[in-house]
Structure 1
Amino acid sequence: MRAWIRGRLPAVLLTLLMLQLGSLVAPAYACGCGAMVPEAQRHVGVGRELSAVRWDGHEEQIVMSLTVTGDAREAAWIMPVPHRATVELGSSALFDRLAEATAPEHRTRHHFWPRDGDWPFTHDTDTAAAPRAGATAPSVNVVGRERLGPFDVARLTATDPGALGDWLADNGFRLPSRLDRALRPYVDLGWEYVAIRLAPEKSGAPLGGTLDPLHLTFASDELIYPMRLSRLAQTPQSLGLYILAAHRMEPRTAIGGDRPEVVFAGRVEAASDPLARFTEGGTDFLTAVDQEFPRPSLISGDHHLRRTATDAAHRRVIYEDRLLRVGGTPVWLPTVGGVLLLMAVVVAAFVRARGRRPVLPPPPVRVPPPIG
């Protein structure tokens, strides 16, 4: 038995190691409001996703920029939409402009007493922090197909995940069973799909880096950001959403994540930059929302956004704490020195006063008279 264990143990350990490595490279099919499907035996991951949404009460626009990593040379990205969508290339400069408009305000805040990092508590360790949205068609009907930069975009009217699986198979991809089940709620709602083949501009090279933004437009009488597919993710998810509408907006619920945090709210002005297209027609109120999903499996549905009670403006403030100084000298130093000096003067004066006080002679001793 011991010899058998010694002979089999390396194989068992190797099998466990391969299973562990397989779990590390297995593709997480969720990526924000869509799903990413790599080619067979390959994996692809979305390291970062930026989304900007414009809604005027009748039409919704979503611009998304994906940063991908992995060894897949091609991948398919699938996004469910409530109505037929048009697709075009977006502008990466839009996100630069949004980041500028929502940048936090920096303020200086002074403190009197020295803290860690101030003299005399300075040290040599580096404490710098790292930088930190049912039809029953038997087959897919491709209503439009075009080449947009590195993207092969197909707009599909199919609302049957099985038919979508056939389209993926015809294009060299396999519909995972988990994704098939996750898409079924959209089947019941009668939504359609936008399916996009991602390929690097250099033939044979793996997908990597930040892809050109995609701009989707579709009719919608409600502001909705698809999130249901993110429940397939195996790692915590982070949502950063720029919302442009006539008023300040907020998610109706947390849909299984942490409480959404508004990091900016206010009206923005844009004349001729890429942001102008998103603010024209009265949709100039920008709300920036951050939300964390520590357990993506708890995501219960899509984000439905509503108008808040007021259009109160808000901007995040970052304080920079500095030691209070005058002329380069910490204020606490002369203050403490002055207090100590004053105390020394008071003590010296007290001792001196006691030294000058006259010494009184002792009272005379009275001797009692003799008795009898």
Structure 2
Amino acid sequence: MRGTHHILIRRILTAFVALLALQAGSLVAPAYACGCGAMIPDGTQRIGVDREESAVRWDGRTETIVMRFSVHGDAERAAWIMPVPGRADVSLGDPELFDEIDRLTAPERRDRFHFWPREDDWPFDTDHGDGAGAPPGAGTGVGVVGRERLGPFDVARLTATDPDALGDWLRTNGFDLPDRLTGALGPYVEQKWEYVAVRLAPEEKGSVLRGELTPLRIAFASSEPVYPMRLSRLARTPQTLGLSVLADHRMEPRSPIGGDRPEVTFAGRIERPEGAVAALAGDRPVHLTVLEQEFPHPERIDDDH
């Protein structure tokens, strides 16, 4: 009996240690969704995206996406592509933006010295938005709009009428992207979207891409808010999307587009935007919605948010 008891204890401890190791591994190397589908390094070099943070501002006419990557690996260069529905203006973003959003969405302690909720307390408060939220639930064929160097980014803005021609242009011009990307670009070509192709390279020669990269700000005309996600179906590991949306009211995705149901982790009105948030959203009151979503099977992604 004593020997059996020791064996049982050892098995329990072994299982417990294995579970801890599994959880630690998931914390050390999380996979985050990339609107570009993947960060592609040169040749045999390796690069991993520890986190992609995105903030979206939509005012009913214009959309601005600010993206910041935290990466690791030994790659000196990497490339990615962002489809956009209209002509894009590309510039460097403010690194303080994401820190300010973190502060705005941090838990807030409130002391209530009464038993029954009053008129402005949940569930009797009425600040749930205005009801406008979504319901539940140059080769041939390629035009170069512009090309510029922005900090660590070599940015090309492109149009295309043929996904094969677009893939060929990218590879010919130093954007070493996989062949399987060509097929994934097909729906965007059919919709006559344009593209922001980006090569990332450290400004200091011989350095590797590591840590938090300078944010990139992409603005374009759009009659509805959109966050490109189709190319993320090329990812080979489960993905997690974190997205902050600044608009005139609370925003939610129209559908899960092949992932788990999106979770709203924060929704509130910012009465007096300041600093980098004001630079993105203006100094008038704005509603901030923060979304988190899991994609256990990226290959099932079938649309854009």
TM-score range, shorter chain: 0.7 to 0.9
Candidates 181, 185, 188, aligned match of 1:186? 188
Counterpart Cα distance in 1 of 2:175 and 2:246: 35
Matched, 1:105 2:108: yes
Question: Is there any run of 5+ residues in structure 1 with no aligned partner, and where?
Answer: 1-27, 109-136, 304-372
SS in 2 for 1:197: strand
- SS state at 2:57 partner: strand
Change (3 A) 1:173 1:279: closer
Residue 263 (str. 1) matches residue 278 (str. 2): no
Paired residue total: 248
Q: Quick one: distance in 2 between partners of 1:70 and 1:206?
A: 8
What residue is the counterpart of 1:66 in the other structure? 69
For residue 52 of structure 1, the aligned residue among 46, 50, 55 is 55
Q: In the TM superposition, what is the alpha-carbon distance from 1:70 to its structure 2 partner? A: 2.1
From the superposition, tell whether residues 222 and 281 of structure 1 become closer, same or farther in structure 2 (CA, over 3 Å). Answer: farther
Tell me if the contact between 1:32 and 1:239 (Cα under 8 Å) persists in the aligned partners: no
Letter in 2 for 1:93: E
Paired residue secondary structure (2:45)? coil
Matches within 5 A, 1:94-173: 94-105=97-108, 138-173=140-175
- 1-structure distance, mates of 2:90, 2:224: 20
Rounded to whole Å, the distance in 2 between the matches of 1:141 and 1:266 is 42
Aligned to 1:233: 235
What is the CA–CA distance in structure 2 between the aligned matches of 1:174 and 1:145, rounded to whole Å?
Answer: 17
Partners of 1:77 and 1:196 within 8 A in 2: yes
- 1:272, distance to aligned residue in structure 2 (A): 4.2
Which residue of the partner structure matches residue 79 of structure 2?
A: 76
Q: TM-score, normalised by structure 1?
A: 0.63
Deviations 1:2-54 (A, max 9, x none): xxxxxxxxxxxxxxxxxxxxxxxxxx9x7234542221222322110000000
8 A contact 2:271–2:284 mirrored in 1: no
Match of 2:226 among 224, 243, 250: 224
Distance 1:70 1:285 in 2: 37
SS for the counterpart of 2:276 is: coil
The one-letter code matched in structure 2 to 1:81 is: V
**Letter in structure 1 aligned against 2:47:** V
Let me know the Cα RMSD of the aligned residues: 2.2
Deviations 1:225-270 (A, max 9, x none): 1111111111111111100111111001111111111111111134
State the one-letter code of the partner of 2:100.
R
Matched residue type, 2:45: R
Question: Structure 1 residues 211 and 226 mapped into 2: Cα distance closer, same or farther (>3 Å)?
Answer: same
TM-score with structure 2 length normalisation?
A: 0.76
Bigger CA drift: 268-277 or 217-226?
268-277
SS at match of 2:188: helix
Give the letter for the 2:166 counterpart: L
Contact 1:33 1:225 in 2 (8 A): no
In 2 relative to 1, CA 249–73 (structure 1 residues): closer, same or farther, beyond 3 Å? same
For residue 301 of structure 1, report the CA deviation from its aligned partner. 0.9
Comparing both chains, which one has the higher relative contact order based on Cα–Cα distances under 8 Å and sequence gaps of 6 or more? 2
Q: Tell me the amino acid that sits aligned with residue 48 of structure 1.
A: R
Shift of 1:171: 3.0
Distance 2:285 2:141 in 1: 38
**Kept in 2: contact 1:159–1:192 (CA 8 A):** no
Q: C-alpha separation between the residues in 2 aligned to 1:297 and 1:34?
A: 11
Deviations 1:174-198 (A, max 9, x none): 3312211111111111111001110
**What CA distance in whole angstroms lies between the structure 1 residues aligned with 2:240 and 2:246?**
20
Extract structure 1 runs of 4+ deviating beyond 6 A.
none
TM-superposed CA distance for 1:97, in Å, is 0.5
**Uncovered stretches (5+) of structure 2, i.e. residues with no partner:** 1-30, 112-138
CA gap of 1:160–1:106, structure 2 versus 1, over 3 A, is: farther
Give 1 or 2 for the bigger CA radius of gyration.
1
Q: Return closer, same or farther for 1:61/1:34 CA change in 2, 3 Å cut-off.
A: farther
| Residues 182, 253 of structure 1: alpha-carbon distance in 2 compared, 3 angstrom cutoff | same
Give 1:89 deviation, angstroms.
Answer: 0.3
Structural mapping, 1:1-372, within 5 Å: 31-105=34-108, 138-270=140-272, 272-280=274-282, 284-303=286-305
Residue pair 1:55, 1:283 contacting (<8 A) in 2 also: no
The offset of 1:207, in angstroms, is 1.4
Separation in structure 2 between the aligned mates of residue 295 and residue 166 of structure 1, nearest angstrom: 29
Q: CA deviation at 1:156?
A: 0.9
Percent identity of equivalent pairs:
63
